[in-house]
Amino acid sequence: MTMTIAFMLYPGLTALDLVGPLQTLTGLAQLDPRFRTVVLAEDRATVSSDTPLLLAAGHTFDEIPEPDVLIVPGGIEGTLAALTDERLIGRIRHAARTAQVVGSVCTGSLLLGAAGLLEGRRATTHWAMRHLLERFGAVPVAERWVEDGPILTAAGVAAGIDMALYLTARLAGEETARKVQLWIEYDPQPPAGGIDWDAVDIPSYRPITDALLTSALAGHPRMLEHLTG
């Protein structure tokens, strides 16, 4: 039997949140015919991302309502606005009833929280939004990726690739994961070196986060109060 790994597409998401792990797990599908990757949306219409790149899904939620794995990308204002999209949240909640793994990248974990999937679970997200996880009953963790039961969450943006490689190893073994990593040549060597997290003053970014929340949720005061009150 083929295991279907589905990625959720919605307007305004961060392109790399979707494309990074999608490319990684498509590598798994290319190496092992037991797996396939799909992108799901309400329809096949083109939607915006947070870059000039437009995206379109290959399948609809109605066509594949219960994938074996569901990955929810994040974003900034598009994702925050999606917190009030009951139809989208309902799609996540429905898929989670039967999925073996429900994952997220970056602020996609907030959508999992809105769907009621993070209550009492350890989870992570982008460092600037990590404090918001508590509003959904989660236990925020400052790690690259976090697995708690069937829920797998990744930190910000590029962390989705790390999470996808971990998931590849979990599903098909470490040797396959290493082959995928080699094929996509994932060997990070940033010119300025790694991030010195001890030097990052996360609370100082709170006004930026609050401004994004206020803008994205201007028409939804109840959700805004829930996240900032």
- pLDDT higher than 90, residue 1: no
Task: Give the integer Cα–Cα distance in Å for 229 and 225.
Answer: 5
pLDDT of residue 6: 98
Q: Which CATH architecture has domain 3-202?
A: 3-Layer(aba) Sandwich (3.40)
pLDDT, average across residues 120-141: 98
- DSSP-derived pairing of the beta strands 101-105 and 151-154: parallel
Give which of 5, 14, 8 is closest to 42, Cα–Cα: 8
pLDDT in tens, 33-68: 999 999 999 999 999 999 999 999 999 999 999 999
Give Dmax over CA atoms of the chain in angstroms.
50
pLDDT in tens, 66-92: 999 999 999 999 999 999 999 999 999
Residue 73 known to be catalytic: no
pLDDT in tens, 172-192: 999 999 999 999 999 999 999
Element holding 146 (H helix, E strand) = strand 145-148
Q: What is the pTM for the complete model shown?
A: 0.96
Q: How confident is the model at residue 154 (pLDDT cuts 50, 70, 90)?
A: very high
Copy the structure tokens of residue 206.
């709170």
Catalytic hit among 106, 110, 151, 172: 106
pLDDT of residue 54: 98
Q: How confident is the model at residue 159 (pLDDT cuts 50, 70, 90)?
A: very high
pLDDT of residue 229: 86
Which amino acid is residue 215, in one-letter code?
A: S
pLDDT of residue 174: 97
